[in-house]
Structure 1
Amino acid sequence: MENKKQRDLASIATIPLTMTLANSILIPVLPSMQKAMGISAFQSSLLITSYAVIAILFIPITGYLSDRIGRKKVILPGLLLVAASGAFCGWAAVAIDKPYALVMTGRLFQGLGAAACFPVVLPLVGDLFKKEEDVSSGLGIVETANTFGKVLAPIIGSALAMWTWYMPFWFIPVFSLISFILVAVWVKAPKDKKPAVPFKTFVHSVVSLFREKGRWIWGVYVSGGINMFAIFASLFYLSETLEERSIHGIVKGCLVAIPLVALCTTSWAIGKWIGQKKKLMKWICVIGFLEAAGCLLFLSFGGRDTLWVIITLLFAGSIGLGAALPTLDALLTEGIEKEQRGTVTSFYSSIRFLGVAAGPPLAALLIEQSKSSLFWVLTACCFVAAVIALITIKPKSN
């Protein structure tokens, strides 16, 4: 990797770290929020979902804008909006007796800011490097930062919740403003000397791209969405299980973080290793999803009475999911031309956010029926993702 661009990449990596913290930091605090605001488990899960839903709607727009006006011009306002919305949620929690509606509003605006941030990171990394192996390594670092945020989030969230339930809202602006300064000062995105493509021509080129490569692109899209759904649904289950067993605070945060350590470490290792070996990327994806499905299948049959069994199997399953993340990113980013990269990867990010949005509320609804039903659904989803990756992703034709 080019040494002079390592600082740029480190600054870019703070964006997914911040966006993950802005959402996942609330997961261990949801039970406390339920009690403080007098809401149900389903309503508290919507605080996670609302952030993702609004991002889903606006990500394609921000992806297109990043292709037209530049990546930083989209990312920096997004980071400021995430910071301002976090402060608004914190203020509402302090100033209003029943703040749920205002907190939900703040989370929606925060999702809008997120729509301008993480989805633009993938094409920005693709723009930054000329060699495909450097792009793969960079994307691995980005996914590592993303998953490292998930590792830190339950620990930080639990620690802040010991102070008061709304304190995580006040820390989101801190993370966002640090990222804003680093990106503004250090990231030097390459300037595109080509003239802007007319909108109609651009749309026609994207439509033609999907006609030509749509099968494998949609395969990556769906697999990525399932990956996020499995991660966030299992995290919600683990958080609720620990709460039922009266495990709170830092201990709870550390236990929730254990499967995420596997996710983070595997994403980093695979990103460093795969280079430009596209055939290998496909098989890592398939095997990763099958391995996750096997672990979740075991939990479908039982073994949920013992906490260490649950955590061990979620840890093992997270290794498979973590292996799939950077390979899907690399397949998509390296397979698309720079001029269309922002738009195409933005749809990918939308579907990933859809998985994030669906995870907690669907997990809450399924747990009400039976815990086995949640794991049967997750097992089926991971198996389907493996089949989709096997059938649709054909590196030779990419």
Structure 2
Amino acid sequence: MEKKQKWALWALSSVPLVMTLGNSMLIPILPVIERQLNISHFQVSLIITVYSISAILLIPIAGYLSDRWGRKKVIIPSLIITAIGGIITGWASWKLANPYMWILIGRVIQGIGAAGAMPVVIPCVGDMFKDDDEVSKGLGLIETSNTLGKVLSPILGSALAMIIWFMPFLFIPVLCAAAIILILMLVKPPTSKQEKVPVKEFISVIKEILHENGRWLYTIFLIGAIIMFILFGMLFYLSNVLEDRYHINGITKGFVLAIPLLALSITSYITGKKIGDNQKAMKWCICIGLVMLGGSLLIPLFSKSLYILIATFVIGGIGIGAALPSLDAFVTEGIDKKHRGTVTSLYSSMRFIGVAAGPPIFSLLIKGTDNIIFYVSIALSFIGAFLTLRFIKPTNEEKVSKHE
């Protein structure tokens, strides 16, 4: 890997870091926002959900535009839009007596920006390297940056909220500005001219790709959604439980939430470096990771002490950390560069569906017994492991080459 490529990769890694912080650092302060605005568990969960829903709807469009115009021309405007959304949420929280609706509007705008940022980074890494092994390592770093953002987010979000509860909203534009500067200075993606394919023909080609590769692609899409559903749902659950049951709040709660996320981040980094272009290794990392996730969630059915819960989420975090970079590499290396942006954007949309669904569904489930939350998550984890064994075939012949 050349030195310029390394710097470009680090600059691109700032995008998932910013996008993750912009969303995940709100998780630990949702109970604070709930009290400040005098709203319900479900209403506060929508602050996460509306962001994800707007991203879901626009990610495929962003992927198509990045295939046609170039990755960088989509990423930069997307970061600007994300910053505008952060300004709106911060301003409304600061100046308005009843800012809830304006916070949701700002979060929708942030989601629009997110649609063209993180999802486009994945195919951009695929474009930068010809060797599949280098692609896997690059995607491992991107996924590690994503999970590192999850590690920092509870600590940073809690620390900022200690200054004033809406400070995390105002910090988002600062993060976006830093990422924009890094991308402009350091990222120079390949300057290959894209053929301007009519939308109708483009849709036809994508349908053909999905038809030929549907079994393993749809499986990866679904597993991505399952993992993010469980991850964000459990983070929402743990954030509330730490305050309500164990009376842990503020930055202390942030550090507790960061422990399993750190395990996730370290595992993600190691996995990305080790799997290379070995699709068989990717498949087993996904399967074993899901089994670890589901198996870990059996533990709280017998004991819900604080230490048991933390140990549970550490083991589950390791499982997720093994699965995510493997999913990224499988879907990126299985599609040719010409259509990589759009197909990986569909995968990103499915991950955002999981992010959007997790907090509100868990907010409803949390009203009953805790065990319901764990039963649902365990079932989904083992279903994902079964689908991985059944439908993901580690063979290079499944790569799409006829459309090149």
Superposition deviation, residue 284 in structure 1: 1.0
Q: Could you list the per-position Cα deviations for residues 304-324 of structure 1 after superposition, in whole angstroms to 9, with x for gaps in the alignment? A: 1x1011001110111011100
Determine helix, strand or coil for the equivalent of 2:366: helix
Determine helix, strand or coil for the equivalent of 1:303: coil
1:379-398 equivalences under 5 Å are 379-396=378-395, 397-398=397-398
Quote the residue 1:254 is aligned against.
255
1:64-103 equivalences under 5 Å are 64-103=64-103
Quote the residue 2:126 is aligned against.
126
Quote the residue 1:367 is aligned against.
366
- Taking the aligned partners of 2:3 and 2:307, their CA distance within structure 1 comes to 42
Determine helix, strand or coil for the equivalent of 1:91: helix
- Taking the aligned partners of 2:313 and 2:291, their CA distance within structure 1 comes to 14
Check the 8 A contact 2:90/2:170 in 1, yes or no: yes
Q: Could you list the per-position Cα deviations for residues 198-233 of structure 1 after superposition, in whole angstroms to 9, with x for gaps in the alignment? A: 333322221111111111000110011111111111
Q: Could you list the per-position Cα deviations for residues 105-154 of structure 1 after superposition, in whole angstroms to 9, with x for gaps in the alignment? A: 10001100000101101100000111000000000000000000000000
Check the 8 A contact 2:68/2:194 in 1, yes or no: no
1:135-174 equivalences under 5 Å are 135-174=135-174
Quote the residue 1:272 is aligned against.
273
Superposition CA RMSD, Å: 0.9
Q: Could you list the per-position Cα deviations for residues 266-303 of structure 1 after superposition, in whole angstroms to 9, with x for gaps in the alignment? A: 0000000000110111011101100110001222x231
Determine helix, strand or coil for the equivalent of 2:28: helix
Check the 8 A contact 2:154/2:258 in 1, yes or no: yes
Quote the residue 1:289 is aligned against.
290
Superposition deviation, residue 248 in structure 1: 1.2
- Taking the aligned partners of 1:326 and 1:150, their CA distance within structure 2 comes to 15
State the AA in 2 paired with 1:170: L
Check the 8 A contact 2:67/2:194 in 1, yes or no: no
State the AA in 1 paired with 2:80: L
Determine helix, strand or coil for the equivalent of 2:367: helix
Q: Could you list the per-position Cα deviations for residues 88-109 of structure 1 after superposition, in whole angstroms to 9, with x for gaps in the alignment? A: 1111011110100111110001
Paired residues, what number? Answer: 396
**Bigger mean CA offset, 185-194 vs 89-98:** 185-194
State the AA in 1 paired with 2:255: C
- Taking the aligned partners of 2:212 and 2:31, their CA distance within structure 1 comes to 47
Superposition deviation, residue 195 in structure 1: 2.9
State the AA in 2 paired with 1:380: A
Determine helix, strand or coil for the equivalent of 1:368: coil
Quote the residue 1:115 is aligned against.
115
Superposition deviation, residue 395 in structure 1: 1.3
State the AA in 1 paired with 2:264: L
Quote the residue 2:402 is aligned against.
none
State the AA in 1 paired with 2:298: L
Superposition deviation, residue 162 in structure 1: 0.8
Instruction: Provide TM-score, normalisation by structure 2.
Output: 0.97
Check the 8 A contact 1:267/1:326 in 2, yes or no: yes
Instruction: Provide TM-score, normalisation by structure 1.
Output: 0.98
Check the 8 A contact 2:15/2:179 in 1, yes or no: yes
State the AA in 1 paired with 2:48: I
Quote the residue 1:183 is aligned against.
183
Quote the residue 1:210 is aligned against.
210
Quote the residue 2:401 is aligned against.
none
Check the 8 A contact 2:139/2:272 in 1, yes or no: yes
**Bigger mean CA offset, 150-159 vs 80-89:** 80-89
Mark the runs of 5 or more structure 1 residues left unpaired by the alignment: none
Percent identical among aligned pairs is 50
Check the 8 A contact 2:15/2:118 in 1, yes or no: yes
- Taking the aligned partners of 1:160 and 1:194, their CA distance within structure 2 comes to 43
- Taking the aligned partners of 1:390 and 1:66, their CA distance within structure 2 comes to 32
Determine helix, strand or coil for the equivalent of 1:395: coil
- Taking the aligned partners of 1:110 and 1:302, their CA distance within structure 2 comes to 40
Check the 8 A contact 1:302/1:372 in 2, yes or no: no
Determine helix, strand or coil for the equivalent of 1:369: coil
- Taking the aligned partners of 1:198 and 1:113, their CA distance within structure 2 comes to 25
1:305-384 equivalences under 5 Å are 306-384=305-383
Superposition deviation, residue 194 in structure 1: 4.8
- Taking the aligned partners of 1:3 and 1:217, their CA distance within structure 2 comes to 33
